[in-house]
Each structure stands twice: as structure tokens, then as C-alpha cells.
Structure 1
């Protein structure tokens, strides 16, 4: 039984990760951390320090590790691939450096896809939810445009709307402003910060951007596969 606190959304206990090819390499070394409900946390560190590897473990996309991982007090170790896929779709929203929108689909269709896959609501309900998310991000008027026909900053807003569509417990982002100019980077930060406060949503963001990280609630600094500090 987990001893996680009631407001704990995500907890990792003593996570270790090795690469075995071409030689054994200890990538993550005894990582322990906790993200609480409504907390906006960033992970920083030089390239190669293990932060993206850690994010993929925390998001359940990488299961080759030792240690324990809990999401909302549920132990995820040993779950089947199908169950982890369900957990990801229902409880974890993803935002990447590249938006990964389907260019032949409209913006609205792209946002609807994760909810259609989850299958908990009717298509009409999902379409209404998707429009609500697009309006929340001030991009509702673009809903019926093809994803290939809007700007980079708008595409990242669409990616955020898509991450929100299933009302996740936590949003994880890997360099979400890495391809954006400073104005659009600020816009994305402000959107995420507002979501954290208004929706009491937990966010965990890997970033190289010092200014972005300093404005989050807490910064986890990594070096050589270890956590150096939480502040």
C-alpha cells in the first residue's frame, strides 16, 4: 500500500534506469520526487543529464526501470501495456516540443482524437468539449481550419487543448516552448500557469529555458542522472 499523501498526483520512489547497449550505462540514479495537485514544476539540466528519460518513465511510456511509480496513489509498476495506455490517455496530457498534429485533419478533429479513443463520451459531447478547450485558449475561431494552415504558436495552443481534452490529472511537457519565439513562449507559459491555478491542474515541464523555469512553482535541477535540488 502506498503512503502517498491525499494531494499527491505523481510520486517516484528510488527510480533507477540503465542503458545496456553498447555498454551498460547508469542513466538515472535513485530518483525520488513528488508532484502535488495544482503544482507547476519544471525540470532543468544540461543535455544528457537524464531529464527527458525521466519524463518518459514518469509518463509510463518507458517501463524498463527499477523503483516504484505511483499516479494518484495507484502503483503502476507491473501493469500491462494496455492498462498503461489507458492510464496515459485518461490521466496524463502530453505537450511536446513538436506539436505532432495531423496536418490533414482540422484543428477541432485533432483535439477530439484522444477523447474519441477513450470512448467515454458521445461524439457530440466530445466535439463540445473540444470547442470549449479551443475557446479557452482563444483559438476557437480556427477550429475548422486544417492543422497545416495555422502558425506555430497556434499549433502549440492546439496541442495544449488536445492535452486537456480528457481532463487529465497531470500534464507533462517536453520543451514545449523549444520551437517558439519569445512572444509565443511567454504566451504558452501564461496559458499553463493560468491552467494550473484555474483548473488546479498539476504540470511537469522539462525545459532548457531559465526564464520559463524560474516562473514555475518549483524547479527540479538534474545533473548526471541525479536530482541536485528542489527549490
Structure 2
């Protein structure tokens, strides 16, 4: 079985104000082309787990593998590169740079990675925007477009380096039902047409029920998966 991402016995403690065991023996994997959601009440450890899975938080015990490579214990510099190349991230808030154009926002992670020429990056960015039906907005300032459009731009940006896995932290949390539906359909299409693996933390039960699998967290433990 080929996992694009796998955890083995991940434990996480907060040490202040007093010691608190926030994640307990988390072991699970996401297969290639699988659309997985993580659910659980507030405080169950969902966002903490996602932060570890995205390689941003390295203060844990256990192992994290990406594409069968152990990433636990690597330097911050290596992790930054691994993250930029392999993980696309879509947040609840889109974090677009408002003074930049839509196209420039999408290009940023690819410029940072520095593996392609500026012309190639621009072409790829335009393709991603076209694929999400917002190609016509490429030269608009990011501050001038609607909330639903901003979230699509954020998805295009997350896809620019052709990641192995797309992670989302409440990606529909700020959207109305029509735009939430749009985001779900985009994710589903990416899975079906490009074999992309997706891992999404969500409170939205309707969203989660339509994914391939729900990982249920309670008090820092996986109670169902």
C-alpha cells in the first residue's frame, strides 16, 4: 500500500501553563489519490495535528513520512524545501497579498522554489487559474475580487508546485454554501482527474461525509478512521 503521507505514534505535549498531552499515539496514512477529512470538536487537536503534518511544527515524538521518506529530524532549511515542493496548503483565510495581482500571488511559491524560469512559472500559474475558471482575473489586484474568487486563487497558489498532497485547514470555513460547494467540487476534481491526495480539517459534516474517509479525533486521539 502506497502512502503519500504517513505518521507513526505521533505524540505532542504543550508544556505551558502546565504539561498537557495534546496528541496521543497518532498513526494513520493518506494514500495516493485519497481525499481524507479530519473531524473533531474544538480542542480535539485537529489544527495541532495539521501543523505537524505540514512540517511546520517539529516539536513532537514519533515519525512523519512524506513519499516514504522520513522527514522527522530534518533541518528547518530542508523542511522548508520539502514543504514548498510537496505540500500545497489552503487555509480558512486566503492570505493573499492584496497589493499584488492574482497571477503574482499564484506565482510566489514557485518563485521561492526556484526550479523553473519566470516565464514557465507565469505560464503554469495562468494554467492553474484557467483550470479553476478564474483565468480572466489574472491581472486584477487580489484586493478587488470576491471571497469565493480569493479562495480559488489560494487553491491555484497551493497547486503551483504540483504538490504530492494538498492540505486544508477549514478551507470552506469562511464561505457561503454555494462557494463551499465550489471548493468541494474543485477538490474532488483534483482527486479524480489528477490523482491528487487531499487532507482537510473541517467542521462541516456535509463536506466530510462526501470525502473518501473521515479521521475522527477526540481529546487528541484517533477514535475512528
TM-score, normalisation: structure 1: 0.97
Give the paired residue count: 225
Residue of structure 2 in register with 1:139 after alignment? 134
* 1:114-153 map, 5 Å: 114-153=109-148
TM-score, normalisation: structure 2: 0.99
1:106 aligns with 2:101: yes
Please, which runs of 5 or more residues in structure 1 have no aligned partner? none
Residue of structure 1 in register with 2:34 after alignment? 39
* 1:1-231 map, 5 Å: 5=1, 7-230=2-225
Superposition misfits of 4+ residues, deviation over 2 angstroms = none
- RMSD in angstroms over aligned alpha carbons? 0.4
Secondary structure at the residue paired with 2:122? helix
CA distance, structure 1, for counterparts of residue 186 and residue 73 of structure 2: 35
Please, which runs of 5 or more residues in structure 2 have no aligned partner? none
CA distance, structure 1, for counterparts of residue 72 and residue 86 of structure 2: 16
CA distance, structure 2, for counterparts of residue 142 and residue 76 of structure 1: 37
CA distance, structure 2, for counterparts of residue 144 and residue 174 of structure 1: 27
Secondary structure at the residue paired with 2:44? coil
